[in-house]
Amino acid sequence: MSIFDEPKIDTHCHVLDPERFPYFPGVAYQPAGQEMGGAKYFSHLMDAYGVQHALLVGPNSGYATDNRCLLDAIENGNGRFKGIAVIANDCDTSTLLKLKSRGIVGIAFNVALHGVAYYADIESLLFRLKELDMFAQFQVEGNLLLAVSPMIAKTKVKVLIDHCGRPVMADGIDQEGFKALLELGSEKRAVVKLSGFAKFSQTGYPFEDTNPYVEALIAAFGLEQCIWASDWPYLKAPYRVDYGPMLKWVEKRFTANERRALLWDTPQRLFNF
């Protein structure tokens, strides 16, 4: 059986439809051309590759804290989508409950984009997410995880880590940020996304330089705490990236039973599609 015929859940992708949902005023980066893709087109793409469900992530690019496009996709997706929203750091419990009722399972914190100082005051928000059994999703790179790890430990919030933690290849597998990520593997509330290789690989597809990092993450987290994501539509990608090769990377790297856990069993358990 081809990977295209196996059940799959994509756990990190974006929908951008500025014609229906104009970009947030003053946003620093506005995706255009091949970086855009609305929910309708993405559904066609999912059908083509045999993907049953997707966890949509609100993009800081284009929409910032405007979640209208994301929520519209969930509401009109016939149960196909759930979401990770982007919100203000002082978001209250009432707003979080409303988002949760509309299919939002967590909140994104893009430390790699905004920096550590931008998120210095999120501890109380993390406590609210913990109380509501929602995920805190962090995108970091290099050693940035070290700065937010104390808040993660103190609040005991459920954590999703984007894109293998985006290690710096030149710093090797023993870099402090990646070591901190591996330590999170012992926390059953922490999950890592095996994705986003174009953001940190220095060799390009099939990203062979990332193999030691992927192997270390699987050893530390186990497949019951690892999930796969496409990162479609590849915002700010340094070169062309396509959906099919991303799935073929999984097919070549994992056995059928491992793919079942990574692509279906674990994300289904975590997000309850």
Express each pLDDT in 38-64 by its tens digit. Answer: 999 999 999 999 999 999 999 999 999
Note whether 248 and 216 are within 8 A (CB). Answer: no
Give the chain's residues under pLDDT 50: none
Instruction: Read off the DSSP letter of residue 24.
Output: P
> pLDDT value at position 75?
98
Q: Are 263 and 7 in contact (CB under 8 A)?
A: yes
Structure tokens at 228: 């796969």
State the alpha helices, DSSP H only, in the chain. 39-49, 60-63, 68-75, 93-101, 111-114, 123-131, 145-155, 176-184, 211-221, 243-253, 256-260, 266-271
What pLDDT is attached to residue 1?
81
State phi, psi for 13 to the nearest 5 degrees: -155, 165
Q: Which CATH class is domain 3-271?
A: alpha beta
Task: For residue 162, give the nearest of 259, 256, 60, 87 by alpha carbon.
Answer: 60
Output the pLDDT for position 56.
Answer: 98
CB atoms within 10 A of CB 112: 18
